Structure 1
Amino acid sequence: MTGAFPITIYHNPECGTSRNALAMIEAAGYAPVIVDYRSAGWPGLLLNELLAAMGVRPREVMREKGTPAAELGLLDPSVSDEAIVEAMRMHPILVNRPIVVTPKGAKLCRPSEVVLSLLDRQPAQFTKEDGEIVRP
Protein backbone atom coordinates (compact mmCIF):
# COMPACT_ATOMS: atom_id res chain seq x y z
CA MET A 1 0.00 0.00 0.00
CA THR A 2 3.07 2.25 0.11
CA GLY A 3 2.85 3.33 -3.55
CA ALA A 4 -0.46 5.19 -3.20
CA PHE A 5 0.60 6.87 0.03
CA PRO A 6 4.39 6.66 0.36
CA ILE A 7 5.82 6.71 3.85
CA THR A 8 9.44 6.85 4.92
CA ILE A 9 10.50 6.43 8.52
CA TYR A 10 14.02 7.36 9.62
CA HIS A 11 14.20 4.71 12.30
CA ASN A 12 16.35 3.47 15.13
CA PRO A 13 15.30 -0.10 15.93
CA GLU A 14 16.83 0.22 19.41
CA CYS A 15 14.44 3.06 20.32
CA GLY A 16 11.02 2.21 21.77
CA THR A 17 9.45 5.42 20.47
CA SER A 18 10.72 4.64 16.99
CA ARG A 19 9.51 1.02 17.19
CA ASN A 20 6.07 2.20 18.36
CA ALA A 21 5.76 4.73 15.52
CA LEU A 22 6.71 2.06 12.99
CA ALA A 23 4.24 -0.40 14.50
CA MET A 24 1.44 2.21 14.33
CA ILE A 25 2.20 2.83 10.65
CA GLU A 26 2.09 -0.91 9.96
CA ALA A 27 -1.07 -1.38 12.07
CA ALA A 28 -2.75 1.19 9.83
CA GLY A 29 -1.95 -1.06 6.86
CA TYR A 30 1.08 0.69 5.41
CA ALA A 31 4.41 -0.80 4.35
CA PRO A 32 6.81 2.11 4.87
CA VAL A 33 10.33 2.52 3.58
CA ILE A 34 12.45 2.02 6.70
CA VAL A 35 15.79 3.81 6.86
CA ASP A 36 18.11 2.97 9.73
CA TYR A 37 19.71 6.40 9.65
CA ARG A 38 22.44 5.32 12.07
CA SER A 39 23.98 3.08 9.42
CA ALA A 40 22.73 4.88 6.30
CA GLY A 41 23.82 8.30 7.54
CA TRP A 42 22.53 11.55 6.10
CA PRO A 43 23.73 11.74 2.48
CA GLY A 44 23.90 14.96 0.48
CA LEU A 45 21.31 17.53 1.43
CA LEU A 46 18.80 15.03 2.87
CA LEU A 47 19.08 16.25 6.44
CA ASN A 48 18.70 19.90 5.39
CA GLU A 49 15.68 18.93 3.27
CA LEU A 50 14.07 17.10 6.18
CA LEU A 51 14.68 20.02 8.55
CA ALA A 52 13.11 22.40 6.02
CA ALA A 53 10.13 20.09 5.48
CA MET A 54 9.57 19.93 9.25
CA GLY A 55 10.07 23.69 9.64
CA VAL A 56 12.60 23.24 12.45
CA ARG A 57 16.15 24.20 13.23
CA PRO A 58 18.77 21.49 13.78
CA ARG A 59 18.92 22.09 17.53
CA GLU A 60 15.20 21.19 17.77
CA VAL A 61 15.86 17.63 16.56
CA MET A 62 19.26 17.14 18.18
CA ARG A 63 19.35 14.27 20.62
CA GLU A 64 21.47 14.92 23.68
CA LYS A 65 20.96 11.78 25.79
CA GLY A 66 23.19 8.88 24.78
CA THR A 67 25.05 10.89 22.15
CA PRO A 68 28.32 12.81 21.92
CA ALA A 69 26.48 16.17 21.84
CA ALA A 70 28.02 17.47 25.07
CA GLU A 71 31.51 16.19 24.24
CA LEU A 72 31.33 17.92 20.86
CA GLY A 73 30.33 21.22 22.49
CA LEU A 74 26.98 21.26 20.69
CA LEU A 75 24.96 22.19 23.77
CA ASP A 76 26.40 25.71 23.79
CA PRO A 77 23.64 28.02 22.45
CA SER A 78 26.20 29.88 20.33
CA VAL A 79 26.88 26.83 18.12
CA SER A 80 25.61 27.53 14.62
CA ASP A 81 22.96 25.52 12.78
CA GLU A 82 25.57 24.64 10.15
CA ALA A 83 27.93 23.24 12.80
CA ILE A 84 25.13 21.15 14.31
CA VAL A 85 24.11 19.77 10.89
CA GLU A 86 27.72 18.90 10.10
CA ALA A 87 28.05 17.11 13.46
CA MET A 88 24.79 15.24 12.74
CA ARG A 89 26.22 14.08 9.42
CA MET A 90 29.37 12.83 11.13
CA HIS A 91 27.43 11.31 14.07
CA PRO A 92 23.95 10.30 12.81
CA ILE A 93 22.89 9.29 16.34
CA LEU A 94 22.70 13.02 17.14
CA VAL A 95 19.42 13.20 15.19
CA ASN A 96 16.41 12.43 17.33
CA ARG A 97 14.04 9.76 16.07
CA PRO A 98 11.86 8.76 14.45
CA ILE A 99 11.37 11.23 11.63
CA VAL A 100 8.44 10.25 9.42
CA VAL A 101 7.70 11.63 5.96
CA THR A 102 4.36 11.15 4.18
CA PRO A 103 2.37 13.15 1.62
CA LYS A 104 0.89 14.98 4.65
CA GLY A 105 4.30 16.29 5.74
CA ALA A 106 7.34 15.45 7.82
CA LYS A 107 7.59 15.35 11.60
CA LEU A 108 9.74 14.20 14.44
CA CYS A 109 7.32 11.69 15.97
CA ARG A 110 7.96 12.12 19.66
CA PRO A 111 5.76 11.00 21.24
CA SER A 112 5.13 8.16 18.81
CA GLU A 113 1.42 8.92 18.37
CA VAL A 114 2.37 12.12 16.51
CA VAL A 115 2.74 9.77 13.53
CA LEU A 116 -1.04 9.39 13.38
CA SER A 117 -1.37 12.99 12.14
CA LEU A 118 0.73 12.02 9.11
CA LEU A 119 -1.41 9.06 8.04
CA ASP A 120 -4.43 8.94 5.72
CA ARG A 121 -6.01 6.17 7.76
CA GLN A 122 -5.64 5.15 11.37
CA PRO A 123 -5.32 1.86 13.18
CA ALA A 124 -8.52 1.11 15.13
CA GLN A 125 -6.57 0.99 18.37
CA PHE A 126 -2.93 0.51 19.20
CA THR A 127 -1.11 -0.68 22.29
CA LYS A 128 2.41 0.63 22.77
CA GLU A 129 5.24 -1.54 24.03
CA ASP A 130 4.71 -0.17 27.56
CA GLY A 131 1.02 -1.12 27.51
CA GLU A 132 -0.35 2.39 26.91
CA ILE A 133 -3.39 2.28 24.63
CA VAL A 134 -3.56 4.84 21.83
CA ARG A 135 -6.96 5.59 20.35
CA PRO A 136 -6.91 7.76 17.25
Structure 2
Amino acid sequence: MNNRVTIGSMYPLPGRPADVRTSSSGPSILRTSESQFEQVLQQQQLQLIFSQHAVQRIQQRGIEMPPETMTKLANAVDQAASKGAVDSLIVMPDVALIVNVPNRTVVTAMDHTQLSNTVFTQIDSAVILH
Protein backbone atom coordinates (compact mmCIF):
# COMPACT_ATOMS: atom_id res chain seq x y z
CA MET A 1 0.00 0.00 0.00
CA ASN A 2 1.40 3.36 -1.05
CA ASN A 3 0.24 6.25 1.15
CA ARG A 4 2.79 8.74 -0.16
CA VAL A 5 1.42 12.25 -0.69
CA THR A 6 3.21 14.76 -2.88
CA ILE A 7 2.67 18.38 -1.92
CA GLY A 8 0.63 20.30 -4.46
CA SER A 9 -0.41 17.33 -6.54
CA MET A 10 -3.46 16.37 -4.54
CA TYR A 11 -5.13 19.77 -4.34
CA PRO A 12 -3.90 22.24 -6.96
CA LEU A 13 -3.90 25.82 -5.74
CA PRO A 14 -6.09 28.29 -7.64
CA GLY A 15 -4.34 31.26 -9.20
CA ARG A 16 -0.91 29.71 -9.33
CA PRO A 17 1.58 31.49 -11.61
CA ALA A 18 1.80 28.52 -13.95
CA ASP A 19 -1.05 26.06 -14.40
CA VAL A 20 -0.07 22.43 -14.90
CA ARG A 21 -2.26 20.57 -17.32
CA THR A 22 -2.01 16.89 -18.06
CA SER A 23 -2.58 15.66 -21.57
CA SER A 24 -1.89 12.40 -23.32
CA SER A 25 1.67 13.56 -24.01
CA GLY A 26 2.32 14.41 -20.35
CA PRO A 27 2.16 17.50 -18.17
CA SER A 28 2.70 20.88 -19.79
CA ILE A 29 3.18 24.21 -18.09
CA LEU A 30 1.49 27.32 -19.41
CA ARG A 31 3.78 30.33 -19.17
CA THR A 32 1.22 33.06 -19.84
CA SER A 33 1.75 34.75 -16.50
CA GLU A 34 5.51 34.86 -17.07
CA SER A 35 5.08 36.66 -20.39
CA GLN A 36 2.65 39.11 -18.74
CA PHE A 37 5.19 39.69 -15.99
CA GLU A 38 7.90 40.38 -18.55
CA GLN A 39 5.63 42.88 -20.33
CA VAL A 40 4.91 44.73 -17.09
CA LEU A 41 8.59 44.67 -16.19
CA GLN A 42 9.57 46.14 -19.57
CA GLN A 43 6.95 48.89 -19.22
CA GLN A 44 8.23 49.75 -15.74
CA GLN A 45 11.81 49.85 -16.99
CA LEU A 46 10.86 52.36 -19.68
CA GLN A 47 9.24 54.77 -17.25
CA LEU A 48 11.11 57.72 -15.83
CA ILE A 49 11.12 58.55 -12.14
CA PHE A 50 11.21 62.13 -10.89
CA SER A 51 12.99 62.72 -7.60
CA GLN A 52 11.27 64.86 -5.00
CA HIS A 53 13.82 67.61 -5.67
CA ALA A 54 13.08 67.52 -9.41
CA VAL A 55 9.32 67.68 -8.79
CA GLN A 56 9.81 70.72 -6.53
CA ARG A 57 11.96 72.48 -9.15
CA ILE A 58 9.49 71.74 -11.93
CA GLN A 59 6.64 73.16 -9.84
CA GLN A 60 8.63 76.20 -8.62
CA ARG A 61 9.84 77.09 -12.08
CA GLY A 62 6.53 76.45 -13.84
CA ILE A 63 8.02 73.92 -16.23
CA GLU A 64 5.47 72.02 -18.30
CA MET A 65 6.16 68.43 -19.25
CA PRO A 66 3.64 67.43 -21.95
CA PRO A 67 3.60 63.85 -23.27
CA GLU A 68 5.72 64.80 -26.31
CA THR A 69 8.45 66.14 -24.03
CA MET A 70 8.29 63.02 -21.87
CA THR A 71 8.68 60.83 -24.96
CA LYS A 72 11.69 62.86 -26.13
CA LEU A 73 13.17 62.67 -22.63
CA ALA A 74 12.73 58.89 -22.48
CA ASN A 75 14.39 58.53 -25.89
CA ALA A 76 17.28 60.75 -24.77
CA VAL A 77 17.75 58.62 -21.65
CA ASP A 78 17.77 55.51 -23.85
CA GLN A 79 20.45 57.09 -26.06
CA ALA A 80 22.56 57.99 -23.03
CA ALA A 81 22.15 54.48 -21.62
CA SER A 82 23.28 52.93 -24.90
CA LYS A 83 26.54 54.91 -24.60
CA GLY A 84 27.10 53.86 -20.98
CA ALA A 85 26.27 57.21 -19.39
CA VAL A 86 25.67 57.43 -15.65
CA ASP A 87 24.70 61.05 -14.95
CA SER A 88 23.59 62.94 -18.02
CA LEU A 89 22.57 66.51 -18.80
CA ILE A 90 19.67 66.50 -21.24
CA VAL A 91 19.10 69.86 -22.91
CA MET A 92 15.82 70.50 -24.71
CA PRO A 93 14.58 73.78 -26.21
CA ASP A 94 12.61 74.78 -23.09
CA VAL A 95 14.14 72.73 -20.30
CA ALA A 96 17.36 71.11 -19.13
CA LEU A 97 17.36 68.09 -16.88
CA ILE A 98 20.01 66.11 -15.06
CA VAL A 99 19.17 62.41 -15.14
CA ASN A 100 20.71 59.44 -13.37
CA VAL A 101 20.61 57.11 -16.36
CA PRO A 102 20.94 53.64 -14.74
CA ASN A 103 18.06 54.42 -12.34
CA ARG A 104 16.12 56.40 -14.99
CA THR A 105 15.63 59.13 -12.37
CA VAL A 106 15.36 62.84 -13.14
CA VAL A 107 17.45 64.51 -10.43
CA THR A 108 16.77 68.19 -11.17
CA ALA A 109 15.26 70.45 -13.81
CA MET A 110 15.67 74.05 -14.93
CA ASP A 111 14.04 76.20 -17.57
CA HIS A 112 15.80 78.00 -20.41
CA THR A 113 16.22 81.25 -18.43
CA GLN A 114 18.50 79.50 -15.93
CA LEU A 115 20.69 77.86 -18.57
CA SER A 116 22.86 80.88 -19.34
CA ASN A 117 26.12 81.22 -17.38
CA THR A 118 25.55 77.91 -15.59
CA VAL A 119 28.23 75.36 -14.80
CA PHE A 120 27.12 71.73 -14.63
CA THR A 121 29.27 69.44 -12.50
CA GLN A 122 29.24 65.73 -11.75
CA ILE A 123 27.86 64.71 -15.13
CA ASP A 124 29.57 62.40 -17.57
CA SER A 125 27.51 63.06 -20.68
CA ALA A 126 25.17 65.51 -22.36
CA VAL A 127 22.33 64.92 -24.80
CA ILE A 128 21.26 68.02 -26.72
CA LEU A 129 17.86 67.91 -28.41
CA HIS A 130 16.35 70.57 -30.68
TM-score > 0.5 by shorter chain:
no
Q: Which has the higher contact order (CA 8 A, sep 6+)?
A: 1
> What TM-score bracket applies, with the shorter chain setting the length?
under 0.3
Larger-Rg structure: 2
